Amino acid sequence: MVVEVLAIVVTLIIILYKFTQNLPPGPCTWPIIGKMRQLRPNVFRSLAELSRVYGPIISFRTGSSWKITVSNPQLAKEVLKDNDQQLANRHRTTGIARFSRNGDDLTWADYGPRFVKLKKICVVELFSSKNLETHRAGREEEISIMIESIYSNSCGKGLVLKDYLWNFMFNSITRMIFGKSCVSSDGELAIEGRELKAILEAQFHAKVSLGILEEVWWLRWMSWIIDGENKALAARIHKFFEAVIHERELERENDNNTYPNFLDALLSRRKEYDLSNNTISGLLWDMVSAGIDTSVVASEWGMAELLRNPTVQQRVQKELDNVIGSGEVMTELDIPNLPYLRCVVKETLRLHAPTPLMLPHQANQNLNIGNYNIPKGSRVFVNVWAIGRDQDVWKDPLVFRPERFLEEDVDIKGHDYRLLPFGSGRRVCPGAQLGINLTSLMLGRLLHHFEWSLPEGMRVEEIDMLEMSGIVGYKKIPLEVVPTPRLPTHP
């Protein structure tokens, strides 16, 4: 009874506070637990539902901080363009603070001159068109290994597609970042690969936020009780990347034959860029953490949609047959000549943004969005998943119809606020072009070489279309598919 009365009083205080402070509307509940329980298990879907009730900008409180979510293109523009600089910080949970050494990397760095320098380094040394071209052969070698391995393991049986996509992405990224393939062509992991894969898996399942223990200032002293696992994982991450750096430094001392990978570029210009070992290690960790899952998620969802929409699958295959033919394999150079495949990638990213809430932005001052006050310190999320499914923005939003992008060419790299899978503004994804190339390559090669169907007895309506909770929206139930070779001989 006492608790209930207290909850009602606190709720009334919050309603009054929101009203007098002109905060965005939203649910008013007991502030400590706040909406935490209601937001589970899938935050972006729950937030989209709340937006249907309260409108496209909502505020709510978990613990002692305000959370703001926007879910229409106009408000997304206010967040990512009009208030870009004021919202260019990110909140670091206790786990993230440990893994990133308190922002001594790019993804979790505070906005400022150091962040601007690191982002420029990444764009110049890794993501420039010249660098992407330099590494193209490596990615194409890896995709051929993936296709071979599907040929040899399939024989009409079902396979879990994600495993193949993940190995391909793992090798492509580690080759570009520090010059090593970690998985062999028969799927075996080298020692280093095994450790890195274990780290990424542990990171994926880690409880990066300690929930109310870190949200409520007077409970924070208790965080140590459950922070141990994150601390141990952070030590493991740092040890791994420090060993990678050390090994490469020794190799470079012994022979000058440098490979053009990202780590080499950072090491050879570390004085000019004034980079510590911690920062280099943080940048390597960023690229591996941000680069692998996102494109795997996109490709797995793309294939799920193509199985649900066989006419789309056939149309992509027809385009591939016309442009590539049956005696050649598709390369990244073919992507500009495959307009329908490019539309399939866009349509996939519209319906299944791999990071549905992007990454969190944080207000570094009081500001105004949608005519509401946003207090300094608020965490601001753009629900790009909801914007991609908004019926005021898209015709038949839930229908997978790549043709919509043939009818209207919508930018996907942060210039059109209707379609924001890579974010926009100062914090936009620097790996967008690489992500698009890799997703197009995975889907294009899979569809060129194979006809895809579901395991015997499974109907299309039975494909589960729900996401896992977390920063990246993996399919909750991994897609199981049956490939049948469709080219006369595999080239």
Sequence-distant (≥ 6) Cβ neighbours of residue 172 within 8 angstroms: 138, 139, 142, 143, 438
Applying CB under 6 A, among 42, 94, 174, 355 the residue interacting with ligand HEM is 355
Q: How are beta strands 159-160 and 372-374 bridged, if at all?
A: unpaired
Pick between residue 291 and residue 444 the one whose CB is nearest to ligand HEM. 291
| Interaction between residue 234 and ligand HEM (CB under 6 A) | no
| Interaction between residue 358 and ligand HEM (CB under 6 A) | yes
Task: Decide: helix, strand or coil at residue 206.
Answer: coil
**Spatial strand order in the sheet of 65-70:** 57-62, 65-70, 379-382, 361-362
| Interaction between residue 291 and ligand HEM (CB under 6 A) | yes
Select from 287-295, 371-379, 463-471, 476-484 the region that touches ligand HEM (CB under 6 A). Answer: 287-295
Strand partners, 58: 69
Q: How are beta strands 65-70 and 379-382 bridged, if at all?
A: parallel
Q: Is 343 annotated as a binding residue?
A: no
Distance between CA atoms of residues 39 and 37, nearest Å: 5
Select from 183-191, 301-309, 390-398, 418-426 the region that touches ligand HEM (CB under 6 A). Answer: 418-426
Pick between residue 115 and residue 450 the one whose CB is nearest to ligand HEM. 115
Pick between residue 227 and residue 286 the one whose CB is nearest to ligand HEM. 286
CA 449 to chain centre: 27
- Cis bond leading into 375, ω under 30°? no
Pick between residue 31 and residue 435 the one whose CB is nearest to ligand HEM. 435
For residue 452, give the H/E element and its range.
Answer: strand 450-453
Pick between residue 23 and residue 106 the one whose CB is nearest to ligand HEM. 106
Q: Among candidates 63, 46, 55, 65, which has minimal Cα distance to 24?
A: 55
Sequence-distant (≥ 6) Cβ neighbours of residue 255 within 8 angstroms: none
| Interaction between residue 18 and ligand HEM (CB under 6 A) | no
Applying CB under 6 A, among 28, 265, 275, 298 the residue interacting with ligand HEM is 298
* Binding letters toward ligand HEM, positions 48-87, x by CB under 6 A: ----------------------------------------
Buried b (16+ CB within 10 A) or exposed e, 227-252: beebeebbeebbebbeebbeebeeeb
Nearest 5°: the CA angle 96, 418, 88 is 35
In the chain, the amino acid numbered 93 is T
Applying CB under 6 A, among 103, 421, 444, 483 the residue interacting with ligand HEM is 421
Q: Which residue has the tokens 């119809």?
A: 401
Pick between residue 330 and residue 429 the one whose CB is nearest to ligand HEM. 429
CB of 108 to ligand HEM, least distance (A): 7
**Do 91 and 357 meet the contact criterion of CB atoms below 8 Å apart?**
no
Select from 191-199, 206-214, 350-358, 456-464 the region that touches ligand HEM (CB under 6 A). Answer: 350-358
Applying CB under 6 A, among 87, 265, 287, 312 the residue interacting with ligand HEM is 287
Applying CB under 6 A, among 227, 286, 347, 467 the residue interacting with ligand HEM is 286
CB of 66 to ligand HEM, least distance (A): 18
Applying CB under 6 A, among 56, 435, 473, 483 the residue interacting with ligand HEM is 435
**Do 429 and 422 meet the contact criterion of CB atoms below 8 Å apart?**
yes
Applying CB under 6 A, among 423, 444, 473, 483 the residue interacting with ligand HEM is 423
Pick between residue 68 and residue 173 the one whose CB is nearest to ligand HEM. 173
Q: Among candidates 166, 116, 175, 119, which has minimal Cα distance to 146?
A: 166
Pick between residue 26 and residue 430 the one whose CB is nearest to ligand HEM. 430
- By CB under 6 A, the residues from 363 to 392 that bind ligand HEM are none
**Total interface residues for ligand HEM by CB under 6 A:** 26
**Do 359 and 107 meet the contact criterion of CB atoms below 8 Å apart?**
yes
| Interaction between residue 119 and ligand HEM (CB under 6 A) | yes
| Interaction between residue 431 and ligand HEM (CB under 6 A) | yes
Pick between residue 28 and residue 288 the one whose CB is nearest to ligand HEM. 288
Distance between CA atoms of residues 111 and 360, nearest Å: 13
| Residues in the annotated binding site | 429
Where on the chain is the footprint of ligand HEM (CB under 6 A)?
Answer: 106-107, 119, 173, 286-287, 290-291, 294-295, 298, 354-355, 358-359, 421-423, 427-431, 434-435, 439
| Residues in the annotated binding site for heme | 429
